Amino acid sequence: MIIDLHAHSDASDGTDSPAELVRTAAAADVGVLAITDHDTTGGWVEAAKARPPLMTLIRGAEFSTQVTVDGRSASVHLLGYLFDAQDPVIVEEQARLKQERRRRGLAIVERMVADGLPISAEQVLGIAGNAPVGRPHIGRALVASGVVTSVDEAFATLLAGQAKYFVPKVDTDLGTAVRMISAAGGASVLAHPRGRGERRVLTSDFIGKLAVEGLAGLEVNHPDHDRAERAELKEIATRHGLLGTGSSDYHGSNKQLRIGQESTAPAVLTALIERTSGITVPLGPVGRAR
Ligand code: AMP
Ligand code: ZN
């Protein structure tokens, strides 16, 4: 059975609606799917309604965080699973991040417009709809306006972190986010802890400290990780008693990834569920192991 614990809908920056995401997963033989939109639980209800009886849905989110280790900073994504979506601290932080993403997205657009690129704030906000604004929404505006031919191309050029249009956003402190997810009854897993160079600041020693603070696992098998990175992460996970997951990070047509192209072992899923308090439960056949 394919267990894919990282996928995005158009509640954030994927292109499938939550219902389409669930259907796409079912058609690809994914038996357990986690919906993990960036900084929002806005897709949970629609995904739950669309869940086929034989599929298990794990409700989660991908939290935007930042960290500084030994004077080096990085933006790090943290997957949170089965936490209480009504937890006041999480509700408040997600509301702040939504505002922050809007401010930052519009600042990027403003720089592009000032440079003569034929996109507009209204266009990007229209593409984002109710989702927290992300660079992929700007990428789609750039594709629609004929500036680039794909979102991938936009990320490789105009939307890159080194591009002159880039504007950072103020994310949640990583340690704070780990504790916040635990306090809300959930379990946290570092998303793609290698993949991009800056994430090398996440040393084994630092990951060990996060484990002490409540981190449950590392995303070991991710499309951005090569063989050596997977081996290294597996070793770090073993050293610190962390779970090692595998997931696609599917984004619909925004990224060239197949849903279910990476999978998590059933025993790891069981252990992950055991790390949660039961406020939010898996929906479907793979229930709580306790
Ligand atoms: P942002 O969160 O606004 O900084 O945008 C970065 C996010 O865009 C990443 O977390 C990815 O999940 C997503 N993304 C979607 N499509 C792409 C792509 N083609 N290349 C890189 N990132 C992408
Ligand atoms: Zn993701």
Counting from 1 in the atom list of ligand 1, the atom nearest the Cα of 249 is 12
The per-residue pLDDT for range 133-150, each reduced to its tens digit, is 999 999 999 999 999 999
Instruction: Give the mean model confidence (pLDDT) for residues 45-69.
Output: 97
Ligand 1 in reach of 251 Cβ (< 6 A): yes
288, pLDDT greater than 70: no
The per-residue pLDDT for range 239-265, each reduced to its tens digit, is 999 999 999 999 999 888 999 999 999
Task: Please state, rounded to an integer, the average pLDDT across all residues of the chain.
Answer: 96
Ligand 1 in reach of 194 Cβ (< 6 A): no
Cα(13) to centroid of ligand 1, in Å?
A: 8
Q: Which residues of 47-76 are buried (b: 16+ CB within 10 A; e: fewer)?
A: bbebbeeebbbbbbbbbbbbbebeeeebbb
The per-residue pLDDT for range 3-34, each reduced to its tens digit, is 999 999 999 999 999 999 999 999 999 999 99
The per-residue pLDDT for range 208-232, each reduced to its tens digit, is 999 999 999 999 999 999 999 999 9
Using CA positions, which residue lies closest to atom 18 of ligand 1?
A: 152
Strands 172-173 and 56-69, sheet pairing: parallel
Instruction: Give the mean model confidence (pLDDT) for residues 100-107.
Output: 98
Contacts of 141 (CB under 8 A, 6+ apart): 109, 119, 120, 123, 124, 127
Ligand 1 in reach of 255 Cβ (< 6 A): yes
Cα(54) to centroid of ligand 1, in Å?
A: 31
Cα(114) to centroid of ligand 2, in Å?
A: 30
